[in-house]
Amino acid sequence: MPKNLTQKILDAHIQSGDKIPGSPVDVKIDQTLTQDATGTMAYIQLEAMGVDQVKTELSVSYVDHNTLQSGFMNADDHAYLQSVAAKHGVLFSRPGNGICHQVHLERFAKPGKTLIGSDSHTPTAGALASIAMGAGGLDVAKAMAGLPYTIPYPKVVEVRLEGKLPHGVSSKDIILELLKRRSVKGGVGKIFEYTGEGVKDLSVYQRATITNMGAELGATTSIFPSDERTLEFLTKQNRAEDWLELKADPDAQYDDLEIINLSELKPAAACPNSPDAVKDIAELKGQKVDQVAIGSCTNSGFEDMMKAAAILKGKTVAPNVSLVVSPGSRQVMIKLMENGALQTFVKAGARVLECTCGPCIGMGQSPKSDGISLRTFNRNFYGRSGTNSAGVYLVSPEVAAASAVAGVFADPTELDYQDSDFEHMTYVDDSMILKPSDNPEEVEIIRGPNIKPLPLNDALPESFNKKVVIKLEDNITTDHIAPAGAEVLPYRSNIEKLSTFVFRNNKEGFDKICKENNGGIIVAGENYGQGSSREHAALAPMYLGIKAVIAKSFARIHLANLINFGILPLVFENPADYDTIDEMDELVFENLDALNADQPLIVHNQTKNLDYALVPQFVQKDIPVLQAGGTLNYIRSMQA
């Protein structure tokens, strides 16, 4: 029977489970990656499992998030990460070497491999025909320990690309079009596989923009075939031996189809505060802009930088605009130095930042009050930039550069600039990637005072009464739950401190409310936990005593994180029941020793004298994990 590309790779890695959409399958993982904001906790968890050497083909620890060293905390985390990588068989990409997704794309991703990373934009590697998925840090630690990764077997959506991108229109506009059609929850339980004649004209960097931002659809991942453009890219990276041709069989079947005519696309922007609030630039043209930021793991490749430089060459940034540029990797930065493009940026008035995530996660460069910021990033959630009152728009590098010069939203299709393939330049240098120690038993792991012991959950009681400590609307992101930014991120390895920031933009003093009520229950709407893979959005609430989250629906990665930390994920059988619950209602949970994944759990609202039928969002094999109080407790119990 003919197979699509997703089935060819995924099915070859499935160790158990039924290949039926929605059914859980265990997937063998070839590669893992971590970044420093989530990686510290992942390696603490790996240590807790007693693993001497990682069992994967390749594992890489990157430092790219917490590079703003305004105190000792981030530097301490980096020292820990370097030492633990050396001891346990993990490559270590040093601060300044680049953003994890771009460096992994350039140096390590391979066609036909599986990859999970403790960052939701790990699907970037799908540009090289990898099945690459974001995951919580604990799931990455389990993969490094040789355990499979469990996902619901996905539906596969064919995205057929026809035509060719016009001048000034970018691959960013392709994914924005898809978000406009499908929304931020339209990809849950699905893999988006790109096909059609339009694919062959897209470089690997252009494909990476699409697979990266496919995470905003809520998709499991996105993938492109491995073809001549893939070989061209790998050859430039001195990795031609990693290439193999991979594509869907003729007459392969898909679960759904989306057709996009590239020739008809126009430059677009995702408007505040959601990646699917998409408008054509023509609708925004002429509105004043205060800040422009070019970079992030979505648009900081060599090609992105060169197109922005082509528009900026010989021009000066408008007086009302602050422009920052952050190349995605050290090798891209050096290419820009060699060919004069870095000088173009500086002469135009740009501030050049180091090769990190930076402003994308609120790590510096917050806009001014009520400012309008155009960013080539992937997320514009409320407050993520560090300025709650700012209006953040997601755009292509071409729109960003054109608008920086004009001082207002500008259409790059109206400009005359070089618009060609910039992949011809090559620079490869892995000297900032450290190999693990040949004598791991001699490596001493460095632990600074900000690295606190991993908090553990209690076993799930047979029954409990808890109050609803917060009620939330639809599309609550992990940025709402466990904020990013320069103030918060340094405490990612200090859960006690981090817990004081939980829901701070939704309910001031949430941590105190939890402590006063001995924990509680979270109630939410659709797509709860969308966005980043950060397991801290489950770990910190667990620390505060949250025992269950009742929602209308969940985002995939956050759902797995809740289970990993022993928090019951449940959805309303009757969504209208959501309207009958208020904050501080007391809910009664009983017979939890007899949990059944196939039967609704009946929960009593003691305050309102109402009963709710709640559908478990876990499978039968998750029940011992939940009853133990989470995955680590369960692993310990099995080893005892």
Single-letter residue type at 233: F
542 with 595, same domain: the answer is yes
**422: in domain:** no
**506: in domain:** yes
- Look at residue 425 and tell me whether its pLDDT is greater than 70: no
Within a 10 A sphere around the Cβ of 174, how many other Cβ atoms?
Answer: 26
- Look at residue 423 and tell me whether its pLDDT is greater than 70: no
225 with 292, same domain: the answer is no
- Cα–Cα dist 410/401, whole Å: 9
Q: Which strands sit side by side in the sheet containing 131-134, from one edge to the other?
A: 131-134, 114-117, 31-35, 58-62, 91-93, 433-434
81 with 211, same domain: the answer is yes
Phi-psi region of 89 (alpha: psi -120 to 50; beta: other; left: phi over 0): left
Give the orientation angle of helix 36-48 with respect to helix 72-88, to 10 degrees: 50
For 318-370, write each residue's pLDDT tens digit. 999 999 999 999 999 999 999 999 999 999 999 999 989 888 887 888 899 99
Helical (H) or strand (E) element with 260:
strand 256-261
- Cα–Cα dist 475/530, whole Å: 7
Q: Which two tokens stand for residue 80?
A: 């820990």
219 with 276, same domain: the answer is no
228 with 356, same domain: the answer is no
**421: in domain:** no
The three-class DSSP label of residue 156 is: strand
Whether the CB-CB separation of 163 and 266 falls below 8 Å is answered with: no
- The single residue listed with the structure tokens 């173009």 is 344
Range(s) of the domain holding residue 154? 5-264
For 568-580, write each residue's pLDDT tens digit. 999 999 999 999 9
Q: Give the pLDDT of residue 385.
A: 87
Indicate the pLDDT class of residue 452, thresholds 50, 70 and 90. Answer: confident
Q: Give the pLDDT of residue 562.
A: 97
Indicate the pLDDT class of residue 111, thresholds 50, 70 and 90. Answer: very high
Q: Give the pLDDT of residue 293.
A: 97
Tell me the C-alpha to C-alpha distance, in Å, between residue 500 and each of 213, 494, 594. 30, 11, 34
302 with 196, same domain: the answer is no
277 with 257, same domain: the answer is no
Give the orientation angle of helix 204-213 with respect to helix 228-236, to 10 degrees: 100
Residue 68 exposed, middle or buried by CB count within 10 Å (0-12, 13-18, 19+): middle
Indicate the pLDDT class of residue 29, thresholds 50, 70 and 90. Answer: very high
CATH code at position 9 = 3.30.499.10
The three-class DSSP label of residue 161 is: strand
312 with 205, same domain: the answer is no
29 with 75, same domain: the answer is yes
Say whether the peptide bond before residue 273 is cis (omega within 30 degrees of 0): yes
533 with 554, same domain: the answer is yes
Q: Which of 161, 238, 151 shows the shortest CA–CA distance to 206? A: 161
- Cα–Cα dist 176/394, whole Å: 9
309 with 387, same domain: the answer is yes
For 291-314, write each residue's pLDDT tens digit. 999 999 999 999 999 999 999 999
Q: Which two tokens stand for residue 555?
A: 């985002």
- Cα–Cα dist 561/575, whole Å: 23
Number of domains in the chain: 3
The structure's pTM equals 0.92
- Cα–Cα dist 602/612, whole Å: 6
CATH code at position 471 = 3.20.19.10
- Cα–Cα dist 177/600, whole Å: 38
214 with 342, same domain: the answer is no
